[in-house]
Structure 1
């Protein structure tokens, strides 16, 4: 009998003590954080799946386009001498050894006219941007300066000079590349280039080489500058960029894509010719040698210059998973504030709310995020958010009707949830002012809670 009385006393303390209810609510919040973590992992998993699909489509259609060239490659001779001594005659024998090195000369002028015809490709519920680009490239090679390395004219191997073009996307090239160089026409073939030692780098974009056959005498800038022009048609995805190898590089780009993101080391010129409209964009770049951090010629080896690239990303502006992830970050706040409202109502009105009922309300709040993710994969984020929030608010309001009984409390629950989800939606849409608006909102919520709880006798039933 004594044990039964103790159990009844403990049960009565759980039902009537404010401290006990606070501990119970706090414990349930901690328990509900576990499935919230799994929801975040679900969002990351779906986001990674989207990236895999985007990469798969890009590999089939053509990866991002990064173009560097054309570059004039000329071999030259250097010599080393070594002396050996005959042990019998004690005389020194001098041997001269010839080495072949390479010099790389960048064009004086490089003009690129690129038209990018972009479309959206869908794979299941995912979409990405792909494009077909037509590039007209022209410019001038000046007379190579070998004097800076003290290379004699007779040591320059003009007959084995070639032209190089580097590209990240050989698979996407759709025409046989031919270049008019001076009085001659030359074509290009791929050359193997080992890049395994760099493939581990984050964001590494492999560059492949195209090289011409040995140039005819009429194509060489021996005594005067030589002009060149070529055309390249290339499929790609996501980005199109160029390395400004010209002493003066000009790029004129047009596209039907309405959401460009200009990336790289250089932005387009702000002039009357640059425009972004609902039908596409027009942009112009004019880059001088003094704007970059590399010279016009290299001896020995040609460095990787893609860090100086510039161009355009065909940005897909709607990232539903990113917005869903930002929504889930406020899941702790939503659960805690909703439980706080029910706790205050329970404390003020003396209505008994069971732990199981708190748990059902918490699970309903978690269902918002699964609904949001699944619906946003088929509709835009606004529709998904409205449907998910309306469903959860309606479910909890109807459920609270059987718990709270009084109409004013039911309306309070409805109004609190509607205001809370509206507040979260506003924060998600903001970028620059998200912290400011969030801080002000939380301050207002704190003020309301302090005002509502000012008359509660916290010492009773403790």
Structure 2
């Protein structure tokens, strides 16, 4: 016979322990998310290490092939006599005698007109292992003239000038990588350029043999220079009027220095670029002539640098910075699905999911080194999404929620890829995207009764 008291006082169901509550699971998932920052940081260190290795290889290759080109000249160099007077007292006669002694100094004159046309040809064959440094061949053509040489500003006398010992000098970096026959045409006569010892620790000096210069006549010059170079080509506007034209088969130039290229003629396509400069003597803060020595004018240069807008390691590093966001949002999706569907997901399974997300970045960097970043990103993202899809099906024992997880990850990885490609609008797009993600989370979690968990 049944006991009626049992119907009046039913046995209460046991209250679940705190460790089985959603609050405890949220805490554990949060701790796991923070713990996964350790392997994520190791991946970021790996990216930096590979990037440093690339820089080392690039530096090694450019030292052998040719470094940055910095050109400065031509400059007319004319020796002159300067005198010192010393008073000497004759011991016998006790009379003071003025002794005059001559010394040789040099005067330097910049050209009135200087025209330069430079062709830069990117070299793709010089690959070292996984890396392809930015190296090129540069062919430069120069012509111009010296005229209206004035000694007044230098306080020199024409009779003290050694016009018959005039020379032309050119200052340039990267002397070891000059590939042309160094001759300069001076009034239709060719002169050889020879390397000379110089106190300058940055520029090397090329100088012609002596020739006779008539200051009342115009001196025309022309010459060609061919280099193996890397990274950049820069010039100093020593001409009273300096014009420069640069063409290159490179799609990412950075115009550098103190003088901007002409906006009216500058042209950049996805294959090459063209740029022109015209600089007058009134645009620069230095004179046309000097005595004794030429000051350091390297800070008044202009030119172009061939750059990679965002190289593969920079893209990988930017992708890894979103790792915490990807892990956090993925765990949040799993947690919401677990709460809504009443499915149980163990903390170990969360750990496997987190490690799979970390593996995305190791796959990304390893594939990028052998392919483009876009292809590597697509392969790595697809591999991780498929892995998590299959794993979710086995954990949740159904296909509805795993398909939703896969779709969410696809949208998330696509969103991050778009942000990585953007430069000027990355912050704006990222902020809008995160706002929409937060709104979606609020929408799907609005009906969950957190008070009973």
Give the drift of 1:275.
4.1
Give the drift of 1:141.
1.1
The match for 1:335 is 327
Give the drift of 1:396.
1.3
The match for 2:243 is 250
5+ residue gaps in structure 1? 1-8, 197-205
1:294 aligned to 2:299?
A: no
State the alpha-carbon separation in 2 of the partners of residues 14 and 85 from structure 1: 109
Bigger radius of gyration, 1 or 2? Answer: 2
Give the drift of 1:278.
5.6
**What value does the CA root-mean-square deviation take over the aligned residues?**
2.8
Q: Is the 8 A contact 2:84 2:102 kept in 1?
A: yes
Cα deviation, 1:226-258, whole Å, max 9, x if unaligned, reads 111112222222322222111111123334445
Give the drift of 1:80.
4.5
Q: Is the 8 A contact 1:113 1:135 kept in 2?
A: yes
The match for 1:265 is 258
Q: Is the 8 A contact 1:252 1:284 kept in 2?
A: yes
The match for 2:108 is 104
**Mean Cα displacement is larger for which, 35-44 or 306-315?**
306-315
The match for 1:4 is none
State the alpha-carbon separation in 1 of the partners of residues 197 and 243 from structure 2: 30
Q: 1:412 aligns with which of 404, 427, 437?
A: 404
**Mean Cα displacement is larger for which, 311-320 or 53-62?**
311-320
Cα deviation, 1:193-222, whole Å, max 9, x if unaligned, reads 4566xxxxxxxxx32111223x221xx242
Q: 1:234 aligns with which of 198, 209, 227?
A: 227
SS of the residue 1:107 aligns to: coil
State the alpha-carbon separation in 1 of the partners of residues 119 and 405 from structure 2: 56
State the alpha-carbon separation in 1 of the partners of residues 154 and 30 from structure 2: 76
State the alpha-carbon separation in 2 of the partners of residues 233 and 353 from structure 1: 68
5+ residue gaps in structure 2? 1-13
Higher RCO (CA < 8 A, seq sep 6+): 1
Q: 1:172 aligns with which of 177, 186, 202?
A: 177
TM-score (norm 1): 0.86
Give the drift of 1:55.
2.4
Cα deviation, 1:177-198, whole Å, max 9, x if unaligned, reads 11122364322211234566xx
Q: Is the 8 A contact 1:251 1:285 kept in 2?
A: yes
State the alpha-carbon separation in 2 of the partners of residues 208 and 289 from structure 1: 24
The match for 1:444 is 436
Give the drift of 1:77.
3.9
Q: 2:367 aligns with which of 375, 400, 403?
A: 375
**Mean Cα displacement is larger for which, 428-437 or 345-354?**
345-354
SS of the residue 1:74 aligns to: strand
The match for 1:154 is 159
SS of the residue 1:246 aligns to: coil
Cα deviation, 1:65-99, whole Å, max 9, x if unaligned, reads 22111011223344455557799998766555555
Distance 1:330 1:459, change over 3 A: same
What is the count of residue pairs matched by the alignment?
Answer: 439
State the alpha-carbon separation in 2 of the partners of residues 27 and 442 from structure 1: 22
Q: Is the 8 A contact 1:172 1:236 kept in 2?
A: yes
Q: Is the 8 A contact 1:244 1:309 kept in 2?
A: yes
The match for 2:135 is 130
**Mean Cα displacement is larger for which, 185-194 or 255-264?**
255-264
The match for 2:144 is 139
1:208 aligned to 2:204?
A: yes
Distance 1:130 1:288, change over 3 A: same
The match for 2:6 is none
Q: Is the 8 A contact 1:184 1:216 kept in 2?
A: no
Q: 1:63 aligns with which of 56, 63, 67?
A: 67
Q: Is the 8 A contact 1:141 1:221 kept in 2?
A: no
State the alpha-carbon separation in 1 of the partners of residues 405 and 89 from structure 2: 101
Give the drift of 1:132.
2.3
TM-score (norm 2): 0.88
Distance 1:221 1:332, change over 3 A: farther
State the alpha-carbon separation in 2 of the partners of residues 399 and 449 from structure 1: 23
Give the drift of 1:292.
2.2
**Mean Cα displacement is larger for which, 119-128 or 413-422?**
119-128
**Mean Cα displacement is larger for which, 68-77 or 87-96?**
87-96
Q: Is the 8 A contact 1:128 1:316 kept in 2?
A: no
